[in-house]
Amino acid sequence: MALNIKNMKFILLIAFLATISLGQDSLQTRWIAEYGSPAWEEAVDIHRVDENHFIILGQFRELSNRDVWLAEIDSNGLALATNQFDLGGNEGVLCSQLIDGGSFIIGGYIEESLGADRYAWLANVNTAGDIIWSSTFFNAYILNSVADILQLGDGGYLITGSRNDSAFVSLIEPHGQEVWSKVYETGIYPAAKGIAIDTLMDGRIVVGINVYEGGGDYHYWAAGLLILDSQGEQISFSRVHCNAEGAWGRDPLMDLTVTASDKIILLGQTLHALDFHYEDAFLTCLNPDGEEEWVRTYGGEDSENPTAIQSDQNDNLVVVGSTQSFGSPNINNLWAFMTDSEGNEVWTYVHPSSNWEHARSFIILGEYDILLAGKSKKRMTTAEIQVLAARANHTTVSTAGFSYLLPSDFKISTYPNPTNGALTIDLTTPFASMCTISVYDVLGRRSTYVRSMTSVGLNRIRVEHSPNSTSGISIIRVEQNGFIRTAKILQIQ
């Protein structure tokens, strides 16, 4: 049967990091680094500070205590600093966002004691553990939590997660105050929880959710999609097919992404047998109106556990997770794979290991490199827990060096300012790839959304005046390959 974590004894969970090069044939591990302490450390997110520094952020657990944990590493996996800090309760970290100034927005839940009812929780902290602000939302309830954060151009956030057995979305202003919060109807399903959130070109919000369904002795979470307007009002809800036969099974959603061509891609796990003997990863592609275009499943005879997905400027998809072997010993191997825009596999990678490993988050660093963070477990041992870092590359790529992105070369300027018409953005970038440009008002409402291909160096991009824009301060947000730059302009109508 599948690995049952709750019943395992003397298990150590280990945060790990892996760097893998994207290629079409074989990949090989470049390096492995280990860090850690005699406790439970689990990486939740990986963030890029600059071309040579990365932050792994997650949680630390020892006995009945749970705290926020982070490590700063360099490009070779060397730990430059580690830290753990108590924010006043038992913090369960589920998501995070690196913001300007080097601090983090952390989301999840907070309990007064381990196992107690939860408050959905959001906090702004720096790497030293100083709390800039911390906010809890809703009443205490066992399932309440923040599952995903989407940063807006004005510095505010959209968050989604669970609120009293319902999926919710809230708009949060930059200092943690709630602007609005809404829960959503999911028809016949008695419970739902938000998993991931993104936006479409026209400003609509898409939320991947899990709904609770089943009958008799079997109840389980299954994938669904909410489409909302820019103010969070519900437009539609649909239960999502999870396999190529168009059938529904036990298929929890894990993540979603919106591609450069505005397609919605849902990532999840489909289980055909309720005794846990067979699980696949699935991708479902929907158009901006939520209509399904294609469904693909991935996996073999082992159990596949997908976790995270991202898309590139060509609508290629990168997925990470783990694959479980049922022999002796019972292990999970870290894996990653890429597909084209139609879900056809381009390459796959499995990291061979005798440990139980699972990827949680990753960064696409460039054409041939991705950086992953997650957890690893050594079974039946009381040895120190370690943070594991590994790097791999395609065999045709030189192992002598590493091609890094240069955030210092990523900058914008805008003119005219003030403006009463079209705006010109000068974008200097080290990337030849797709960038996105959004214009927001001070309330976080997006009036303009533009996608543009760039070349390396200076690019001059014209953004036409939107009839939806209003007079006053507007925020310009430019995002490319995970980097974000913002600027303020004064619009005069």
Return the pLDDT at 283. 94
Return the pLDDT at 385. 43
Order of strands across the sheet that contains 434-441: 446-453, 434-441, 472-480, 483-491
pLDDT by residue for the chain (493 residues), tens only, comes to: 222 222 222 233 456 666 655 444 445 566 666 666 656 778 889 888 877 888 888 888 776 677 888 888 887 777 888 888 877 678 889 999 988 667 889 999 988 766 678 889 999 988 777 888 999 888 877 779 999 999 887 778 999 999 988 999 999 999 899 999 999 988 778 788 999 999 998 889 999 999 987 654 556 788 999 999 999 999 999 988 776 555 555 788 999 999 989 999 999 988 654 445 567 889 999 999 999 999 998 876 677 889 999 998 788 898 998 887 544 456 777 788 888 999 998 877 777 666 777 788 888 776 567 788 887 776 534 333 445 555 555 433 222 222 233 345 678 889 888 888 788 999 988 777 778 888 877 766 778 888 888 888 889 998 887 777 778 888 888 887 667 778 888 888 7
Q: Which residues pair with 159 in a beta bridge?
A: 149, 170
Alpha-carbon distance of 146 to 352, in angstroms, equals 33
Return the pLDDT at 351. 74
Alpha-carbon distance of 168 to 166, in angstroms, equals 6
Domains of the chain as residue ranges with CATH: 8-394 (2.120.10.30), 407-491 (2.60.40.2550)
Return the pLDDT at 405. 34
Q: Is the peptide bond before 416 cis (omega within 30 degrees of 0)?
A: yes
Cα dihedral angle (172, 174, 175, 177), rounded to 10 degrees?
-20
Return the pLDDT at 38. 59
Q: Is 246 left (phi over 0), alpha (psi -120 to 50) or beta?
A: left
3-state SS, one letter per residue, for 169-182: EEEECCCCCEEEEE
Q: Is 69 left (phi over 0), alpha (psi -120 to 50) or beta?
A: beta
Secondary structure element (H or E) that encloses residue 56, with its range: strand 53-62
Residue 314, both tokens: 């060509």
pTM (predicted TM-score): 0.75
- The 10 Å CB-count burial string (b at 16+, else e) for 212-237 is ebeeeeeeebbbbbbbbebebebeeb
Return the pLDDT at 368. 61
In 10 A of CB 366, how many CB atoms? 17
CA atoms within 13 A on the CB side of 484: 19
Contact 47, 98 (CB under 8 A): yes
Closest to 20 in 3D by CA, of 405, 400, 397: 397
